[in-house]
Chain A
Amino acid sequence: MTGDEILVAARDLRRDYAMSAGVVHAVRGVTLDVRAREYVAIVGPSGCGKSTLLNLIGAIDAPSSGTLAIAGQRLDGLPDRDATLFRLRRIGFVFQRFYLMPVLTALENVELPMSEAGLGKTERRTRARELLAYVGLGERLHHRPTELSGGEQQRVAIARALANKPALLLADEPTGELDARTGEEMIALFERLNTDGTTIIVVTHDEDLARAAHRVVHMRDGLIVDDRRR
């Protein structure tokens, strides 16, 4: 994929939730293109719909209307089975709370998506070691999440997200649970990932992280109100 190709193409994307108090319009008609190798930060106040938009792009939630395509693959209306397979092969997720499997070691956590994708044990073990070394945890392979610091857990989560060489890395508040110094390390890691060719969309309140992105999308009340490239 070249740098000019549109990787994410969202058109008039909407997501409504039926709540007891009425219908909540979390995303109210977002149109957004993200090119390959871009590093995009989505910012805005709490409840503006940025995480919902990320979930839609990541195919873990389905839009109420509008169209969404990633790498040419339409995701709106995609059956669960196909959406799952798409997430496995094309999307990498990083969550605010890391969400590693506590019963697995760092190495096993990174191997998990590769195992699901059907990679052989030797191949996935080799790649998991390489990824953990890439995020600076080459010496912590056999530690369980409870034996790792917050920053280290987030690095494992990033390595896991990169396991199946995804087209797109999505991160929801990746520095939200980290102290300032560790947050800076994470920002540097994201920059390195992007420099090495990974397309990144990050949702954040962290101004430093947003500043590191090449493009900042501002959202308010479920709509994009500003979209600037640096």
Chain B
Amino acid sequence: MNEIETIAIELTVNGRRRALKVAPHHTLLDVLRDDLELTGTKECCLVGECGACTVIVDGRTVDSCLMLAVEADGAAVTTVEGLAIDGRLSPLQAAFLDKGAAQCGFCIPGQLMSAHALLALNPHPTLAEVQEGLAGNLCRCAGYQQISEAVLATAEGADR
């Protein structure tokens, strides 16, 4: 078997500079989970339908299953592991717990990343804007109501 040629990339993940060698056909999802052992980001549909693999790249959410790791060369990536502040849950994460938004929990890392990016862009979304902002994240437990409530509660709490 031929050895696969790897490409050297540098990126920032959750504030930490990382230099690594990646195979060209490995996705950002593969590299986050398998090389960097950040397994909070979930692998699920692999066609950009479910959003379980959502991470934030240079301020915008992407399905990390649809982005090659080499494309992230030079980028700043935030995963669910990067949301906590000084080892404590972010207000958004705390609201998910408080509202019982997590049932089986598998979709939650992706939901959190989409909600985090939405609130950064639009600190006071309407329910319709939350639903549209999270339309790319499926929850097979159908916990959408609690998820939306958690996002809205976070927006409200930020005012206090």
Decide whether A and B assemble into one complex.
no
